[in-house]
Structure 1
Amino acid sequence: MKAFLFDLNGTMIDDMDYHNRAWHSILTEDLGKKISMEDTKLQMYGKNSELLERVFGKGHFSDEQMDELSKEKERRYQLAFRPHLKLIAGLDTFLQTAEQHGIKMAIGSAAIPFNIDFILDNLNIRHYFPVTVSADDVTYSKPDPETFVKAAELSGVKPGDCIVFEDNPKGVEAALKAGMKAIVITTMHEERDFEGLPNILKFIEDYNDPYLQQLFS
């Protein structure tokens, strides 16, 4: 393979529970929506504005209101998660090995730049990722393939030469539509949640999984 494309939240850092709690707080305490933590989790894909539209319907909020709610949600998430911020086990070594083998790497995330910067800069890993595709860089978010297709294009690599690392079924579906294989990190979802997605090479708990060494041989 010539490129590894990484989703960010839940794939490089194990933080999705913190996103879930931040969203649940916004939806229930600030906006008065009766929704469970589990149902909130199921809505956590794509752009923040899309989540709000799925829960409340299109037109319920103005673009300005959704932007402010999105920023407030990210502030709460970052405040809660900052003391726990670290890469998923084995990822630091995996990134170093990929770089040594000349494999290009890029971020393809539905996160806003505010969150991507928070992770890449605080963990000092920005140098691995000359290409980052955020929610602000695409018209259609996952499961649409635009995020990963654009990441491959900006990396100068054909889609078929990329492996996507994901934690969410919608992200794996996006990879499938882009013509890419995927490796799934089971931080937030179980294997049964990915039924019907034939492009999955392997399910892993972290980047210490011996299977990953095959990618360099």
Structure 2
Amino acid sequence: MERAVIFDLDGVLVDSSLFHRESWRVVGKERGFEMTDELFWRTFGMPNRQILPLLLHRDLSEDEIAELSERKEAVYRELAAGKMQPLPGSTDLVRAVVDAGFRVALGSSTPMSNIRVVLDALGIRECFEQIVCSDDVTHGKPHPEVFLKAAQKLGVDPSRCVVIEDAVVGVQAAKAAGMRCLAVATTHPADKLQEADMVAPDLTHVTPGTLARMLDA
């Protein structure tokens, strides 16, 4: 039976949190709102359409959400250009699971325009058979839609998928999808990620064998 690994992007493959925080700060200064540290970390991993009503304390039209999201992500790409570095062990693990015969997908709350920038910078875009992003789903994490859609596109049963996540809402989404979840404590402390099946400090010592054993447990 085929097995799959579904990677999150931000906080798993790259540490993009500083760029995201600064882009919210820039747009907030332009538009008269403030992204607090508490709200930033609580919503990290959610799509912008879920974050913006919490940030502005009101409902927004689809046009407002689209316009603010596009501005925020444009600032993010400007800030991150040429500065994106892989997190320890991340690109090695992506290539290793491909070589080990796993089906590989990306499931992220990030827009596709950002995903392309990151994967091209890391040189691993060709490793992912399928990519499901915020543009492809109706419900953001912690809803399981992004991971269920990735499994469906791969043609792999959710019970044979391992999700690699860094955010609390991402772990919750993986478990709601009926998948195994390995959490990395790159964004949140390990004690916040205990819903995951396994927690690691980073991906340095995670191998395809680690993920295979999780599926066989």
Q: Which residue of 2 aligns with 1:10?
A: 11
- Given that 1:20 and 1:41 are in contact with CA atoms closer than 8 Å, whether structure 2 keeps it comes out as no
When the two structures are superposed, what TM-score results if normalisation uses the length of structure 2?
0.89
CA RMSD for the aligned pairs? 1.9
Residue-pair matches, total: 212
**How far apart, CA to CA, are the structure 1 residues paired with 2:92 and 2:34?**
43
Equivalences for residues 52-201 of structure 1 within 5 A: 52-59=52-59, 61-195=60-194, 197=195, 200-201=196-197
Q: Which residue of 2 aligns with 1:51?
A: 51
**How far apart, CA to CA, are the structure 2 residues paired with 1:216 and 1:161?**
9
- Given that 1:90 and 1:207 are in contact with CA atoms closer than 8 Å, whether structure 2 keeps it comes out as yes
How far residue 49 of structure 1 moved from its aligned partner, in angstroms, is 1.7
**How far apart, CA to CA, are the structure 2 residues paired with 1:43 and 1:214?**
29
How far residue 70 of structure 1 moved from its aligned partner, in angstroms, is 1.0
Match status 1:205 vs 2:206? no
**How far apart, CA to CA, are the structure 1 residues paired with 2:131 and 2:114?**
12
Give the SS at the match of 1:83: coil
Segments of structure 2 that go 5 or more residues without pairing to the other structure are none
Segments of structure 1 that go 5 or more residues without pairing to the other structure are none
- The one-letter amino acid of 2:51's match is L
How far residue 21 of structure 1 moved from its aligned partner, in angstroms, is 2.1
- Given that 2:13 and 2:91 are in contact with CA atoms closer than 8 Å, whether structure 1 keeps it comes out as no
- Given that 1:20 and 1:44 are in contact with CA atoms closer than 8 Å, whether structure 2 keeps it comes out as no
- Given that 2:44 and 2:167 are in contact with CA atoms closer than 8 Å, whether structure 1 keeps it comes out as no
**How far apart, CA to CA, are the structure 2 residues paired with 1:210 and 1:176?**
20
Give the SS at the match of 2:202: coil
- Given that 1:24 and 1:37 are in contact with CA atoms closer than 8 Å, whether structure 2 keeps it comes out as no
How far residue 6 of structure 1 moved from its aligned partner, in angstroms, is 0.7
Q: Which residue of 2 aligns with 1:41?
A: 41
Aligned residues with identical type, % of pairs: 30
- Given that 2:19 and 2:79 are in contact with CA atoms closer than 8 Å, whether structure 1 keeps it comes out as yes
Say if 1:32 and 1:176 are closer, same or farther in 2 by CA, change over 3 A: same
**How far apart, CA to CA, are the structure 1 residues paired with 2:4 and 2:202?**
19
Give the SS at the match of 1:84: coil
